[in-house]
Chains A and B, each alone.
Chain A
Amino acid sequence: EVQLVESGGGLVQPGGSLRLSCSASGFTFSDYSMHWVRQAPGKGLEFISSINNDGSSTYYADSVKGRSTISRENSKNNLYLQMSSLRVEDMAVYYCAKSGGGYSEYWGQGTLVTVSS
């Protein structure tokens, strides 16, 4: 059974930094691209970042480009999202997802990032 468990969310002040983690199990992690998708309170879904299976290729949405770094540690089955210069508009539930070929095949339960002073 595929399982994705996010952690690292919490309360951070505007301008602060946070590293989100996603622990994967139930599949061969190193074979698949992975995604981060976020959802602001009461809003829709926003695809923000993707990384290929070996970490050699990454994508960032304009909304987080230059402020975020996606990475992975295949030996530990972990995905990360380092976020800096956080803004109020970054407040959201952040989901990690296993790619099924471009679409997000399996999703974690999400971790909430609150940006507030």
Chain B
Amino acid sequence: EIVMTQSPATLSVSPGERVTLSCRASQSVSSYKLAWYQQKPGQAPRLLIYGASTRATGIPARFSGSGSGTDFTLTISSLQSEDFAVYYCQQYNNWPRTFGQGTKVEMK
């Protein structure tokens, strides 16, 4: 099983700041099969990024993904108030599909 580790667990930021979230896999995730999701309280997760760097339909350009192999990053270029949420990475290259434990982005 590929273990996905996200850091930090919590990030306290102010609107307008640039945010970088990290996701590390215990073994290489080939073919860039890495996705990022956003989840707000009481809501279902929403797909942000797939293929490590492709934005899903309707996702604003301030969200970007990068990385390969075992190290991946989600960047929010200028945090908006609606971006406070928990973010999860997921590898979908191997079974079982595994998620990271999440990074909570909270207001400073």
Interface residues of A (CB under 8 A from B): 35, 37, 44-47, 50, 59, 61-62, 95, 100-110
Residue of B nearest to A4 (CB): B44
Choice from A35, A44, A108 contacting B44 with Cβ under 8 Å: A108
A64 CA to B43 CA in the complex, in Å? 24
Known A-B contacts A104-B47, A107-B45; the reply to A59 vs B35 at CB < 8 A is: no
Choice from A95, A103, A108 contacting B92 with Cβ under 8 Å: A103
- SS class of chain B's interface: helix, strand, loop or mixed? loop
* CB–CB B90/A47 < 8 A: yes
Nearest Cβ on chain A to B90's Cβ, whole angstroms: 7
Choice from A37, A44, A101 contacting B102 with Cβ under 8 Å: A44
A102 CA to B98 CA in the complex, in Å? 11
* 18 sample A-B contacts, Cβ–Cβ < 8 Å, listed by A number: A35-B97, A44-B100, A45-B45, A45-B88, A47-B96, A47-B98, A100-B50, A101-B92, A102-B92, A102-B97, A103-B50, A103-B90, A104-B90, A105-B50, A107-B45, A107-B47, A108-B44, A110-B44
Nearest Cβ on chain A to B27's Cβ, whole angstroms: 17
Q: How many residues of B contact A (CB 8 A)?
A: 23
* CB–CB B90/A95 < 8 A: no
Known A-B contacts A45-B88, A47-B90; the reply to A105 vs B99 at CB < 8 A is: no
A103 CA to B99 CA in the complex, in Å? 11
Q: 10 tightest CB-CB pairs across the interface, nearest first?
A: A102-B92, A103-B35, A47-B97, A107-B44, A45-B99, A103-B50, A103-B92, A44-B101, A44-B102, A61-B96
* CB–CB B44/A47 < 8 A: no
* CB–CB A47/B33 < 8 A: no
Known A-B contacts A102-B97, A105-B56; the reply to A44 vs B88 at CB < 8 A is: yes
* CB–CB B47/A105 < 8 A: yes
Known A-B contacts A102-B33, A103-B90; the reply to A46 vs B99 at CB < 8 A is: yes
* CB–CB A104/B99 < 8 A: no
A103 CA to B33 CA in the complex, in Å? 8
A95 CA to B44 CA in the complex, in Å? 8
- CB-CB < 8 A to B93: which residues of A? 102
